[in-house]
Chains A and B, each alone.
Chain A
Amino acid sequence: MEFFLVTLLNSLSYGLLLFMLSSGLTLIFSMMGVLNFAHASFYMLGAYFAYQTGLYFGFWPALFLSPLLVGALGALTERYGLRTVHKFGHVAELLFTFGLAYVIEEIVHLIWGRAPVDYRIPAEFDFTLFTLFTTQYPAYRGFMMLVSVGMLAALYLGLTRTRIGLVIQASLTHPDMVEALGHNVPRVFMLVFAGGAALAGLAGVIGGNAFITEPGMAVAVGSIVFVVVVFGGMGSLTGAFIASLIIGTLQTFSVALDYSMLDLLEKIGVSILPDSSWHGLWSITISQTAPVMPYLLMVLMLIVRPRGLMGTRES
């Protein structure tokens, strides 16, 4: 019972972090039709900028500065990079972001080196929020969830209640008409891209010190974020939310479960000897198959329903 509740809470915080990342990605995709391979790189940059600015100013200013810096970088990428490649088609845009992911990782190697950096949870959060049975739940996880929910609420309110949010929503489906009405649609695109990058940066700020901050973090998280976006449906924020919770729960639970088919067979009375050739296959535990599960889900979803759970566009 305790294991179940603790894992559930962990999966909730991880799922919300995934949602922060995938919301930016799905917004960028629905607006511009380009799947941003460099999104996880912006996440990594958010963590590194937070570490660096935190060294000079402390955690709280870094929490605001770092996403702004990443957002500015995103705006520059869109203005000078994506816009140049836009005329060559979607494949070229996809490959541009693919190359950008490589380059950002190498720039991080250049500036901060290949080892993990010492980006820590600030001392204010170094206490236990509550004790569930015997497990102590850290306060920082609670803070992470708070920031994620707060950002989600701000995003929802911003998109539905502000004027610029309405313009963004209109540009998602009818960019030509919005431009005809006099709005600067390329500037809106740049704003959305910068906003998405800033969201990824914010996720990096709060996730970088809970999980490790190293140059490989972009690759580790990036693939999962793609799974979330594709699974939830490209172009749908609600779909991304549901999918990130599902995938977060799936990953957190499957990593913690140590049962294999062998245990199941033994429960029903069948035993396989260790020296039989099938033993290796049956003894694979759920935790060992954990890395494969999200991709299996994604492939199945793409075959059965390429639009995703609640998607509005296929490509």
Chain B
Amino acid sequence: MNPVITKRRIIFWAAAALFFALLPFVFTQSFALSMLSQMGIAIIFALSYNMLLGQTGLLSFGHAVYFGLGAFFCAHALNFVGAGKFWFPVTFMPLVGGLAGMFFGLVLGFVTTRRAGTPFAMISLGIAEMVAASALMFTGFFGGEGGIATDRTVGGTVMGISYGPQIQVYYLITGWCLVCIIGMFAITQTPLGRMANAVRDNPERAKFVGYNPTRVRWLMMTLAGFFAGVGGGLAAINYEIVTAETLGVMASGNVVLMAFIGGIGHFWGPIIGAVLVTLLQSALSNYTKAWLLYFGLFFLVIIMFSPGGIANLITLHKPVRQAGRLKRLLPSYSLSGGAGLVMLLGFFALIEMIYHFEAKEAANKAFSFFGITLDPTQATFWIGTLVVLAAGIAMFYATTRVVKRAWDDITAELQMKGMV
């Protein structure tokens, strides 16, 4: 058995902690700080989701229920502290969210984990829709359409920390994110985590070894609910408002996308997915109205050509790196990258032209695309865009053959060395 606490891991996580602690000094705008906070929350959420999907094989379409319920409970707890009804430090408030998420994971999980596979996916979807619909019914707890507003500074100022400025919230989120990552990773190394993998791969064999698959799934659901609730609590502190959308079907779908794009086969995959998706959602929506289309197409491309996600694409290169043959791939990758860039630019330009053409209110429909002015009312621009797109597609297809040849050479070499 490989030891869990190795010097390499400690150094890596210390370096990661230092990196995140120093990050706000590199990106100083407030928009960057709020996006980094969002990423931290998304990382916890996506990792807790992967506990279900990647580790236990439970495809859930309703994970935001635990996130949202944790957020609501945390918001109410903050309001209680604000009203003076009881005292609890704001720093540990996400624990309230986590306990709420854990409780609902326990209760709802008992009912849902009796089945696995597609029935489980459908039950989770049904429960997500049910909870989302009830959120608009029980306005006392859920606040109806307006949601529940809260104030993160109710704890007063302790040792100079009041959680008023965004940077203090950022450090709170980073701290909790680190704790949760270490916690979730630790769970994967426990017998429960290993049995969850066994239940994912072969439930019948797990039964023969002596573990009840339903019990294992139920436990993993409870723990995943805990971490999702912690994420929800942090969201309540960060945004100071929780609405029915926080536990809605959109949020559940979002975390599925995050986990899958990042890669469900590796522990750290969803971290990449969460960062990328948050970046795309926040930053991209400022530049184009078609960001959700690009996002959906990106997801489709990942599913069709690399269902292991980005993490899989990275680990594909691990034996190549170990053999020191990464440089062999470099020329074909740069060719393919260049052709792909041309193709993507043509495609984006086409979509943007269509969007701007359909815009009914603009008098002058010309817009700026990476510095070039495109006018959708004139045919020359359409022809030019289509030519660029067609040329890009042709070039990209030609270069895939070059990449394939490079990989074939390397694979033959690695097979001879016994590394693949």
Interface residues of A (CB under 8 A from B): 35, 81, 84-85, 88, 90-92, 94-96, 98-100, 102-103, 106-107, 109-111, 113, 223, 226-227, 230, 234, 277, 280-281, 284, 288-289, 291-292, 295-296, 298-299, 302-303, 306, 314-315
Contact = CB atoms under 8 A, between A and B. Distances in A.
Interface string B352-366: 001100101000000
Given A284-B138, A292-B129, A302-B115, 15 more contacts: A81-B300, A85-B303, A85-B304, A103-B297, A109-B292, A110-B290, A110-B355, A226-B122, A277-B140, A281-B140, A291-B129, A291-B133, A291-B136, A296-B126, A298-B123
Nearest to B61: A98
B137 A284 contact: yes
A103 B137 contact: no
Nearest to B117: A315
A289 B115 CA distance: 27
B126 A227 contact: yes
Closest 7 pairs between A and B when the two form their complex, measured CB to CB: A106-B293, A102-B296, A315-B118, A103-B296, A291-B133, A295-B130, A99-B299
Given A110-B351, A303-B114, A91 B59 contact: yes
A226 B354 CA distance: 33
A84 B304 CA distance: 6
Nearest to A114: B289
Contacts of B300: 81, 96, 99-100, 103
Contact of A295 (B129, B292, B299, B351): B129
B307 interface: yes
Most chain B CB inside 10 Å of its own CB: which residue of A81, A106, A230: A106
B127 interface: yes
18 contacts: A85-B304, A88-B303, A90-B118, A94-B121, A98-B256, A99-B303, A103-B296, A106-B296, A107-B293, A111-B354, A226-B122, A230-B126, A280-B139, A292-B130, A292-B137, A295-B133, A299-B127, A306-B119
Contacts of A306: 115, 119
A99 B302 CA distance: 10
B283 interface: no
A288 B292 contact: no
Contacts of A281: 138, 140
Contacts of B118: 35, 90, 94, 234, 314-315
B125 interface: yes
Contacts of B111: 299, 303
Contact of B292 (A88, A95, A102): A102
B385 to A, nearest CB: 15
